[in-house]
Structure formats: C-alpha cells, structure tokens
Amino acid sequence: MSIVMNASLATQVKDHPAYHPGLEGVIAGESALCLVDEGEAGLLYRGYPIRDLAEHSMFEEIAYLLLFGHLPNQKELTEFSADLVDNAVLPRLLEVFLGAVPSSAHPMDIVRTGVSLLGMADADAADHSHDANVRKSVRLLAQLPLVIATSYRLMNGKPRVRPRENLSVAENLLYLLTGRMEDDQAKAMARVLDVSLTLYAEHEFNASTFAARVTASTMTDLYSAITSAIGALKGPLHGGANEAVAEMFLDIGSRERAEMWVREALAKKHRIMGFGHRVLKKGDARSVIIQRHAESLSRICGDHRWYEIATTVDHVMEQEKGLHPNLDFYTAVAYLLMGIPRVLYTPLFVCSRIAGWCAHVIEQQDHNRLMRPRALYTGPPKREYVPLDRRT
C-alpha cells in the first residue's frame, strides 16, 4: 500500500472508529427474541432461561414461543401441534423435485432448493403481512423434516416414510430418519433430540440469522430470506460443526486413543472442532445441558464409547488451550447414539433453527428498516482516467 493510500486509510479509520473486522461485537439491530449472555442467565428465549425451557418444555412450545411471543397454554399447544400435522404434506412440485435429485447432491443444497420450491408453491408467498408470515413459518416447520427425510431415503434407495400424527416433532424426526419409534431407547432418544432442537432453535444475530434479516429487510418474501439463511449455514465456519465433531470421534475410535490423538493434532496446529465460540468466551450454557443428556443416553443405550472419547478430548482441550466445548460437541455424542446419518446433522440443525429464523424475519418485517452498512475503503486513491488508446 502506498504512502498516499495509507494516509487515505488513516482518514477513513478516523471517520469510522467503530470498525470491527467480521462485525465482531457490533450492535446491528434490535430484537426481543434472544439474549446471549455469559452471566448467570446463560441464554434467554423471550426472557425464559434456556435451562428451564430445555428441562420442562418440548420443541413445539419453543417454536410457539418464538413465533407468537409467549409460551402456549394447553389449548394453544394442542391447536399448534394439530396445525403442524395438517401442514406436514409436500406439494407435488416438491415430490417431483425430490424424486429427481441426483445421488451426488449435497443435503444442504437439497434443503436450500426445496425451500425455494416451497415458496413457489405457496399462495401466501408474496404476502408480507404478519399473519401471512406466521402461516408460512408453520408450514416450513412442518414440511422441512419431510424434505430432509424423503430426499435422503430416495437417494439411498429406501421407501418413503410418512410422519405419524400421534408423534411429536422430535419423535417424528427420529422415526423419519432412523425408523425408530416405540421402544424405550427410542423414547429416550426422542427426548434428547427434542432437547437438542430446543437448544439449536435460536441464537441471536449469528451468521445465518443475520443473513436472513438482511434479506428480509429488502421486503422480499420469507422463503427468500430463509434460503439466504440456509446458504449461510451450509458454510463450514457456521453449520456442520457437529458433523465434523462426530467424524473426529469416529477417527479417534476409542477412549484409549483420545488423549494422544488430540495432543498430536494440537502439535500439528490442527483445529479441534466443537470448541470455542465467537460470542461465548467463557463457555456455552447449552453445552452443559446437552452433555448431561448425552451422558444419560449413553447409559440407557449401554454404549459409553462416544461419551468417554468426548470427555477425554474435553479435558485435554481445557488443560492445553483453556477452551470450553460449544453446543455442537456433546450433541455429536447424542446423534451418534441415535444412529442419525452424519450427512443429515446440519439439515437437522435447519429443522430446529427454522423457528428462530422465521421469528427474526417476522420481527424484521414488522419493524423494517433496510440494512445498508458501509465499507472501509482500502483501494487506491483517486486516479486519472486514461483512454484505451493511451494505456501502455
């Protein structure tokens, strides 16, 4: 960079003292949906501590809370659950698309394109009113598990499976993805899956949520905003961490190899997945919750291998790096025990976060202001234009 450019940059830095690379720590908007806090609260969904919601509520209640602003009473929950059941049907356009998807397609690409097609088939798509956005959100909550499960089964030569009306969202997800439903282990798995859906449902202005809000701020349709969010989540620096953690556990293979594996990886400067968080520097309250459930599920399944590997890795990372596990780390233990295909871990994340994304789109469009930030210019100073025939 030339001296002149340095001077220009210095002027801009002076004019923009609040510049932070990656927007770290920048307040980019207001939201009543979620408080991410490293203090005693940990994480609040519309004022409710996440530990209380995970312990006492089911995912349907969390989705209702995020979309409607309050926890449902029994009548409201019954009606909401029935609404989800009624909307758990894919339009013909989606059925045709899923039947034609090539076996090499990335599951997140299928989800992203599936949401776009759902928007094309929705008569409410162009209606940006609050009520219409809520209706579309409910449809997406009901339809996304079908998009994910149907595409995976068809790509792997398995017959379609329809959701069951008497099952919860988590129970149906487990059934659609693994075929498990009624035995005691399946019930325990569904409970832990429900907790994971609650924990993943919302987390303030993360990359995918911010992408959704920026898109929604143009007053485009909800489906376009959600498509933006899915595209952001596909990136390995945002979504996919629990899948990478599971692959790490499989590579380690046993508790006896875990400590040496981690120390060798650290010596080679390799990144250990499932640790650290851009905002939560002192630990993730959600990780503590899912760890407890992963340990319980390990006992119920009589399979302690993954949990023992995880706790060993956790101990070494705290000892060597002072890092704490995030939500993805022990979630991988739970999903391995459930037998959920690893390629579906991030699409499963979508089934949960869709509640938060839709709530953010609704909130953005209810009180909209187009998002239009500025950039810190680092290019050359003003230059004289040279006609083509005079350029050397």
- CB 314, CB 245: distance < 8 Å: no
Between CA 230 and CA 56 the distance in angstroms is 29
Please state which of the ranges 132-146, 203-217, 265-279, 294-308 shows the lowest mean pLDDT: 265-279
Active site amino acids: 277, 328
Whether 52-183+197-235+343-366 and 241-338 share one fold: the answer is no
Q: What pLDDT, on the 0 to 100 scale, is given for residue 280?
A: 66
Average pLDDT of the segment spanning 109-135:
96
pLDDT higher than 70, residue 79: yes
pLDDT higher than 90, residue 117: yes
Between CA 272 and CA 317 the distance in angstroms is 8
pLDDT higher than 80, residue 52: yes
Between CA 357 and CA 67 the distance in angstroms is 10
User: For the domain 241-338, what is the CATH code?
Assistant: 1.10.230.10
Average pLDDT of the segment spanning 216-245:
93
Reported as a pLDDT band with limits 50, 70 and 90, residue 6 is very low
Residue type at 328 in one-letter notation: D
pLDDT higher than 60, residue 3: no
Tens digit of pLDDT for each residue in 177-201? 999 888 899 999 999 999 999 999 9
- CB 381, CB 5: distance < 8 Å: yes
Domain spans, the chain: 52-183+197-235+343-366, 241-338
Tens digit of pLDDT for each residue in 199-228? 999 999 999 999 999 999 999 999 999 999
Mean pLDDT for all residues in the chain = 92
Q: Could you tell me the CATH superfamily of domain 52-183+197-235+343-366?
A: Citrate Synthase, domain 1 (1.10.580.10)
pLDDT higher than 50, residue 314: yes
- Single pTM value for the model: 0.91
Cα 190 to Cα 185, 193, 286, 352, 361: the distances in Å are 9, 5, 18, 14, 29
